[in-house]
Amino acid sequence: FLVCDISDGAGNISGTFPYLKSVGFKVTSPGTMPLGQFSDKGFQFLPVFSTPDSCWIETTTTNFIDDVPLFESEKGDEAWNGQPLMVGAVRTVGDKVQKCVVLSNADCISNSELGMNRKDIRSANFYLVMETARWFTGGRYPVNVSRQGTKDNDIRGSYDQLVWYKGVFMWLIPLLLAMLGTVICVRRYRQ
């Protein structure tokens, strides 16, 4: 897995990210790829988290138990220092603001990764989800998804009526269904 740094530009998305960075939180990801170059299209790009400064693609070491992986650019190793792994993009079209997030690998916000506890690593993955949602909603967070109560939310009837309802649904209707089934079976048997 990869332990990623929260970028300096993440403060443009949420003021919580600079605080998390200052107290040592990191974003963990089981696997990822750096994001490539973006065409402009009028978006302002805000990096949220990136690879650490000591990150590279190891192409020469195959035995990671006995050998020590070393960065060797002459042998084909590729440096990933500070490559963005999540970018927020924002632009204004007319009087509306468009926001989107490009994530190189969504495994960092999967259920298994959000529930993962690793020794000596303070994970900010949950904050990543929450603060991105807050950014998308323009600070109107959490999103209220409750519904209004129904208009017919009370039952009007006495206890005597309830006894009759119980008798109809527990005895009369099942008895009628049993009689109907018996009639159908007898008619089929006669034919």
Mean pLDDT of 36-47: 78
Estimate to the nearest angstrom the gap between the alpha carbon of 33 and the chain centroid: 19
Mean pLDDT of 22-41: 79
- Spatial CB neighbours of 134, under 8 Å, sequence gap ≥ 6: 14, 141
Q: How many CB atoms lie within 10 A of CB 186?
A: 9
pLDDT tens digits, 135-190: 888 887 766 677 777 776 666 778 888 889 899 999 999 999 999 999 999 999 99
Omega of the bond leading into 142 within 30 degrees of 0 (cis): yes
**pLDDT score of 29 more than 80:** yes
- Farthest CA pair distance, the chain: 92
This prediction's pTM = 0.61
pLDDT, residue 143, reads 67
Mean pLDDT of the residues in the chain: 83
Q: How many CB atoms lie within 10 A of CB 130?
A: 15
pLDDT tens digits, 43-79: 888 888 887 777 777 777 667 778 777 777 777 777 7
* Higher pLDDT among residues 41 and 170, named by residue: 170
Instruction: Evaluate whether 87 touches 101 at the Cβ level (below 8 Å).
Output: yes
pLDDT, residue 111, reads 84
Estimate to the nearest angstrom the gap between the alpha carbon of 143 and the chain centroid: 15
The CA distance from 133 to 139, in Å, is: 9
The CA distance from 51 to 167, in Å, is: 69
Beta pairing class for 2-6 and 44-50: antiparallel
Tokens matching residue 121: 């690593």
Tokens matching residue 185: 């079976």
Q: How many CB atoms lie within 10 A of CB 81?
A: 13
